[in-house]
Each structure stands twice: as structure tokens, then as C-alpha cells.
Amino acid sequence: MRTAELNAQHNKLIWFIALPILSADLYSSVSYGPESGMTELMKLGPDAKWYIIPITISTVVLLFILIVSYIMGVLAYPNGGGAYAIAKDNFKPRWVSLVASSSLLVDYILTVAVSVSAALEAVSSAYPAVAPYETVLAIFCVFVLLVVNLRGVAESAKIFAWPTIGFMGCMLLLIFTGFFDEFQHGFVQHSTPSFGTVPQGLSVLLILKAFSSACSALTGIETISNAVPIFREPQQKNAIKTYIALGVITSVTLLGFAYHLYVKGIAPNPHNTMLSQLTESYFGHGILYQIIIWFTFVVLILAANSTFTGFSQLAAIVAADGFLPRGLTMRGDRLGYSNGIIALAATASILIIAFQAHTNALIPLYAIGVFLSFSIAQFGLIRRWKRVKGPNWRVKLAINTVGAFVTSIVAVIFAFTKFTSGAWVVLIVIPILIIFSLAINRHYRAVADELRIDLSTFRPKANKVITVVLVSGTHRVVHNTLSFAKGVSEDLIAVYVGFDDQSIHRMEEKWEEWGNPCRLVVLKSKYRSILEPLTRFIHLLEEKQPKSNIQVIIPQFIPKKWWHNLLHNQTALLLRMWLLRNKDVVITTVPYHLRK
């Protein structure tokens, strides 16, 4: 794709097409969010089942606060303001924005691991035979996502709207069927747990833990605010519309889903997801069950897919600022940031293997990063309203103050309640990432300082160059190399390294017979090494003419078939690597393309 095509208006999206495309990440997590929360409480026995209602209500309240806060973000940064951009704009010390970027990057990796694992758990609920292969299949899915993303997919590809629309339809159908079922069989059924009983062993800590796990359903909310530029005009208005619509549909789904789970008294089961259990209770194992399971699978994979774009773009932005390796800013032929995509796939795969693709084992690590970056974004917006003001700035300030307060409390709850079950890993990795980022930036600044020159005084002048050609005999490759070398230098030294007197003598004779193409120096290597006598010789030249450039010309075979590389000594390659690293010499490789 050409650079110019990137911003063409006809590629922009109407809001109700953008809605499903940008919501895969958030909406798909309804399939595992409530279950993650309830898993924490299940050790208390069936008396704890009814807690799904208050916990889901709290989650929806938090969702409402987040969406309103994020709408403020859209108003403030119409060109797309991720937490990193907001922090960069409003906080002077760079580490603040690095907290936002590092925690988001870590959470993106977790999103891929969690979504793909949850996708496979959906499938293995329907087909228990798949269960032992979950890890392998999860890695395979990540690999497919890697290939697809390297080949390049525009985030705005409209085809991605359909699976999410389909999954939304499935969830609404499920909720509708639930109410229909309850109209027929009663809103309190024999399986409905009694509401309000306090189970033995319940503690505030446990409730908070369940709540924080359930909040994994809220990750992905930042996607729309990052993507404002892909909307049709009026962009901000459309983005806000989308936020509101997404908030409504997600709330309805979460509440309806939780309510029916409560009525049916469904508890988490490691071999059968709660979504699968509820669907079974209405439809059995028929075609509707299959459709819902496979839409769940596809939408979760899609959520992982959208993370690839999010991760690699954020990494590229941070890298362009000089806080991550610059290689992350390189785009492949099809616009994807290849290195970021590869890094994400690799790290997510490691997580999947380490946690054997168990969603509930990954959840304690998840969402802290997102809420950390949410908090920083809110605090950034607070500073912005105070500084920039603008229409209704006091209202916006109030909203973001509430947002900042709530998100930071939630982040602290997360870190505290899940610390021992895995959150500590994230709380160690994020600071390490920040320290690395700062070190990288120091290095780049030091290099930039070193490279800066005064253009008016420091101008290139021709250096004296001593040219050394390595020769291994008197054959076509040497002829080819010498013909080039004579073209660039009149003062040429051919160097031959021999292991015994006999071969040295023969070489001298042949050189004579060849009409002495240039001066020949023979070096005797008693220890059968080429490197050792050669470096000694280079050292000699350096001492004699300390101000010159030394150029070493090395011939290299380029065979026709790749496996022929095994058949030709890779001396040239090793020599080149060693000399470049350890000596200040220019290395010229003259290829000889073998015909056979």
C-alpha cells in the first residue's frame, strides 16, 4: 500500500461498522469475565453462586465510569490519544508515559494469551477430546495470527465486522431465550441458589479478588479512543456514538448473561465453560449450540488479532520516540510493523506454554496493566483540563477526577488481591521494561551526540587506502577478485596464507607464471589458522601507515543451490565477522556466482 492511500477518505468507517470492528477485544471478554470472577468464589461452595449478580453489577458500573472517562479522552485528543500519548502530552518526566506504554504492552501480550486460551476452552467444552491438545492448538492459532499479520491486515478491514456482529447476535439470542425460558418455568427455578445467604469463609479480600478477576471483561475499552482517525467525519461525534452503543450492548449482555447464570445456578467447571453450560441448558448439543460455540471461538481469536495491530503500533510509536529498539518502527511491505508482530507472537506463545493455555491461571496477571494505563490516562486528562480549559472544562475535569479515582483504586485492588497468585510477575516486569526503555533512550542520545558534526567545517576528504586482497590460489575466482581490486587501487597487496613450505613455494611459482598480477605477500601459518597471521599482517600495516584506511578484499563463492553453501568453507564469512568486530578495517566482499 502506498503512504498516500493510508489516509484516503473512502477508507473511513461509518460508526455502526466501526462498532463491531473495534469492539471484538472488549465484547469478546464477556465470554470469560464473569466466569473468572466466579472461579475465585467457588471454593466457598454453592452458597456463593448468587454473588455473580452484585459482582456483575459492580463491573457494569465500572464500565460506565470508564466509558464516560474515555469519551473525555476522545474530546481532548481527536487524533487518537492512547494512554501513552496522553501521558506524554501532560507529564514532563518521561517515566510516567513509559509506565503507561510498558503496562499496556505487557497487557497486550496477556490479551493474546488469554483470548486464544479462552477460544480453545470454548472449543474443548464442546469437544472434550480436544482438551489435551489445547496448548498445542493455542500455539498454532498464535502462529496463524502471526502469519496473517505479517502478510498484513488493515485494522479497518470490514470483513472483521461480521463475526463480532454474529457473536453479539448469539449473546442477545441467548439472553432472549433465557427470559423466554423464565417466563415459562419461573424466574426462580429449582436450580436457582437462594439470594443473600452469606457463605462460610467469605472475606472482603475474596470478594475484591472475584471482582478484580471479573474486571478482565473490561479490557479492550481503549481501542476506540486510539482509533478516532479511522471514523468518518464528524469523527469525534461518531466515536462517541460508538462508545455509547458499545457500553449499552456490553452492559445488557453482561447483566443478562449473569442473571441467567444465576437462575440456572451454573458454577464454573474447568472442563466446560459457563457460557457453554448455559447454552446447553437451553439448546442441548444441537446446531444452535454449535453456532454459539464457534462464534465465541472466532470472536476471541479476532480479539487476539486486533491486539497485534494495537501492540505493534504502540511499540512503533514508543520506538520512534527512542525508548524501544528502532527496529520496531520498520514496516513490512504490507504496512505491518513486522518486528513488533513477531515479538508479540513470541512472548504470547511463551506465556501460553508456561500456563498450559489455562485462562484462569493467566487471569491474575491480566488487566493490572490496563488499569494502570487507564489511571495514568485519567490523571493526564485532569492536568490537561486544568491547563487547556475549553468549553465545559469543569464538568470534564470532574468526570476524569472520578475516573482517575476509580481506576487507580481498582488497579491497587488488582495488585493487592492477586499479588501472590501471579500479579507480582507483572509488577516486576513493568519496572524492568521502564528501566530498559530509559537505558535504550540514553544509548540513542549518546549515539546521536557522537554522530553530530559541524557541516561547514567537518567535510569528507579522500583518505589514503591500503588495499589487501586475500588469495587462495590462481583460479577464476581470484582472477575475478583481482580484476575488481585493480580497478579500485593501484597499490595492491595480495596475501596468501600457506600451511607448509611446499604449498607456499608452489603458490610463488604459479604467481610468477601468472605474470605477477600485483605484489604478493606469503604468510606461513604454523598452526593452520588464517586469522592469526592475517591479523598480525594488518597490525603491521597499521603501524606503518597509521592514518590510512585498510581495506581487505575477500572473494566469496555464491553457490546456485542453498545447500551447496554447506560444501564451501565459510572461512570468508567468519573472517569478515571477526575483522569487522575487532579491527578498524573496511571489508569488501567480491561475490563469485557459481554456474553449477
Give the whole-angstrom CA distance, residue 355 versus residue 293: 23
Positions 182 through 221 that interact with a second copy (CB under 8 A): none
Least spacing, CB of residue 5 vs a second copy, in Å: 10
Nearer to a second copy, 285 or 564 (CB): 564
Positions 348 through 407 that interact with a second copy (CB under 8 A): none
Nearer to a second copy, 272 or 329 (CB): 329
Least spacing, CB of residue 484 vs a second copy, in Å: 5
Of 401, 402, 407, nearest to 372 (Cα)? Answer: 407
The residue range among 78-86, 137-145, 418-426, 510-518 that interacts with a second copy, by the rule CB under 8 A, is 510-518
Q: Which of 188, 447, 506, 578 touches a second copy by CB under 8 A? A: 447
Residue 521 bridge partners (DSSP): 495
Least spacing, CB of residue 562 vs a second copy, in Å: 9
Of 539, 566, 568, nearest to 555 (Cα)? Answer: 568
| CB count in 10 Å sphere of residue 512 | 10
Of 33, 92, 31, 1, nearest to 298 (Cα)? Answer: 31
User: With the CA atoms of 352, 84, 406 and 218 taken in that order, what torsion angle do they form, in degrees rounded to the nearest 10?
Assistant: -40
Q: Which of 483, 519, 536, 578 touches a second copy by CB under 8 A? A: 483
Q: Which of 408, 474, 503, 535 touches a second copy by CB under 8 A? A: 474
* Contact map string, positions 515 to 544, toward a second copy, x by CB under 8 A: x-x--------xxxx---------------
The residue range among 99-107, 149-157, 292-300, 457-465 that interacts with a second copy, by the rule CB under 8 A, is 457-465
Residue 467 bridge partners (DSSP): 492, 551
Nearer to a second copy, 176 or 500 (CB): 500
Nearer to a second copy, 389 or 564 (CB): 564
Q: Does 558 bind a second copy (CB under 8 A)?
A: yes
* Contact map string, positions 404 to 443, toward a second copy, x by CB under 8 A: ------------------------------------x--x
Q: Which of 455, 502, 544, 546 touches a second copy by CB under 8 A? A: 455
The residue range among 9-17, 91-99, 229-237, 322-330 that interacts with a second copy, by the rule CB under 8 A, is 322-330
Positions 323 through 342 that interact with a second copy (CB under 8 A): 325-327, 330-331, 333
Give residue 277's identity as a one-letter amino acid code. Answer: Q
Give the whole-angstrom CA distance, residue 133 versus residue 136: 5
Q: Which of 446, 491, 540, 545 touches a second copy by CB under 8 A? A: 446
Give the whole-angstrom CA distance, residue 35 versus residue 440: 41
Least spacing, CB of residue 531 vs a second copy, in Å: 10
Give the whole-angstrom CA distance, residue 232 versus residue 66: 24
User: Are the C-beta atoms of residues 208 and 412 closer than 8 Å to each other?
Assistant: no
**Residue appearing with cell numbers 551447496:** 564
Least spacing, CB of residue 491 vs a second copy, in Å: 11
Q: Does 489 bind a second copy (CB under 8 A)?
A: yes
User: Are the C-beta atoms of residues 52 and 262 closer than 8 Å to each other?
Assistant: yes
**Residue appearing with cell numbers 477508507:** 11
Nearer to a second copy, 388 or 446 (CB): 446
Least spacing, CB of residue 536 vs a second copy, in Å: 15
In terms of C-beta distances under 8 Å and separation of at least 24 residues, what long-range contacts does 166-172 make, across chains too? Answer: 166/295, 166/298, 166/299, 167/27, 167/28, 167/295, 167/296, 167/298, 167/299, 168/20, 168/27, 168/249, 168/253, 170/291, 170/292, 170/295, 170/296, 171/30, 171/253, 171/257, 172/252, 172/253
Q: Does 501 bind a second copy (CB under 8 A)?
A: no
Positions 575 through 594 that interact with a second copy (CB under 8 A): 576, 580-581, 584-591, 593-594
